[in-house]
Amino acid sequence: MKGTTLVRVCGAAVFLIGSWAAYTQDPPAGQLTISKVKDDLYQIVGDGGNVAVYVTGEGVILVDDKFEPDYEQIVTKVKSVTSQPIKYILNTHHHSDHSGGNVKFEPTVEIISTANAPKNIVEKKQPGAPANMTFTDETSVYLGGKEVRAKYFGRGHTNGDAVIYFPALKTIHTGDLMAGNTPQIDYLGGGSVVEWTKTLDGAMMLDFDTVIPGHGAVTNKAGLMTYRNNVEKLRTRVQGLVRAGKSQDEVGKVMMAEYGWAANSLPMQWSLPGMMAELK
């Protein structure tokens, strides 16, 4: 099972791209845990992207649904905090570590994403089940007297990242617009390191104090601002090297030394060439 372990370790470290998603299809489900974020909002962590669980008196709204094999555990974890059925899932973006569970949920749950997210699955033949309802700018789900708002602020990790807002709890779920230490840009999926900071600037206009990132620990508005500024720093650094005529190899060495990117890692193979082309 050594090979399987390796794939799962990579899967935890990197969360991008169609070709990448092909590697991580159907990994064995990891051990998931559920914990309270605030009031009736919980998160499920442990495999793939962070799932938000919002409990209302008329049903449950999820943000993202991890990989397909995590379905059973997600259902079990939700049942451990409420007897209400799962009614809606809002996908932050199309990657299979955030929307892989759609395949299992779609017979009984309304699944909503940005309009671009299913296009990345259908037109670019990336794995996953598209949502059955989409929006282009903003939409809201009202259930049991509570609102969850999904908003598209622009390109970043992909061209279809939704920021999910829980107004009553002053909390957002960023999807992979905040994930890991440095941004991973899915250029095949329409991502952009140039637009990324503008997209986060839009999200920062919302009234919130708590942030559930796509991967990693819950943080606050200042934490998201730090992440946004780090995206800008990385972009400025890479742009300086590109405009100084450095090769991809040379820029890659800087990324390894200064940002801890592993040699031949997926960020190196997928994000870097796109960044260098975009920052010329």
* Shortest Cβ 176–Zn ion spacing (Å): 4
* 143 or 196: CB nearest Zn ion: 196
Number of chain residues interacting with Zn ion (CB under 5 A): 3
| Contact assessment for residue 43 and residue 49, using Cβ atoms and an 8 Å cutoff | no
* Shortest Cβ 203–Zn ion spacing (Å): 16
Residue 176 binds to Zn ion (criterion: CB under 5 A): yes
CB atoms within 10 A of CB 19: 13
* 95 or 228: CB nearest Zn ion: 95
* Shortest Cβ 196–Zn ion spacing (Å): 13
Angle (nearest 5°) at CA 33 between 32 and 34: 130
3-state secondary structure of 34: strand
Stretch that binds Zn ion, among 88-96, 100-108, 188-196, 246-254 (CB under 5 A): 88-96
* Shortest Cβ 157–Zn ion spacing (Å): 6
Cα of 242 vs its chain's centroid, Å? 28
* 20 or 71: CB nearest Zn ion: 20
* Shortest Cβ 49–Zn ion spacing (Å): 7
* 139 or 271: CB nearest Zn ion: 271
Write down the residue that tokens 């890692």 correspond to: 265
Stretch that binds Zn ion, among 65-73, 95-103, 113-121, 265-273 (CB under 5 A): 95-103
How far is the C-alpha of 110 from the C-alpha of 61, rounded, in Å?
10
* 88 or 270: CB nearest Zn ion: 270
How far is the C-alpha of 45 from the C-alpha of 162, rounded, in Å?
19
* 17 or 109: CB nearest Zn ion: 17
E strands along 39-145, which residues?
A: 41-45, 51-56, 59-63, 86-90, 110-114, 133-135, 138-143
Stretch that binds Zn ion, among 93-101, 215-223, 244-252, 270-278 (CB under 5 A): 93-101
Stretch that binds Zn ion, among 61-69, 92-100, 125-133, 245-253 (CB under 5 A): 92-100
* 45 or 60: CB nearest Zn ion: 45
* Pairing of the two strands 171-173 and 210-212: parallel
| Per-residue tokens: 197 | 């900071």
Q: Contacts with Zn ion in 12-41 (CB under 5 A)?
A: 15
Q: Which amino acid is at 134?
A: T
* 77 or 95: CB nearest Zn ion: 95
- Sign, CA torsion 187/161/154/210: negative
Q: Where are the alpha helices (DSSP H) in the chain?
A: 2-13, 18-24, 71-79, 96-99, 102-105, 116-122, 193-204, 221-243, 248-259, 266, 272-278
* Shortest Cβ 192–Zn ion spacing (Å): 14
How far is the C-alpha of 101 from the C-alpha of 151, rounded, in Å?
21
* Shortest Cβ 114–Zn ion spacing (Å): 13
Q: Which residues bind Zn ion (CB under 5 A)?
A: 15, 95, 176
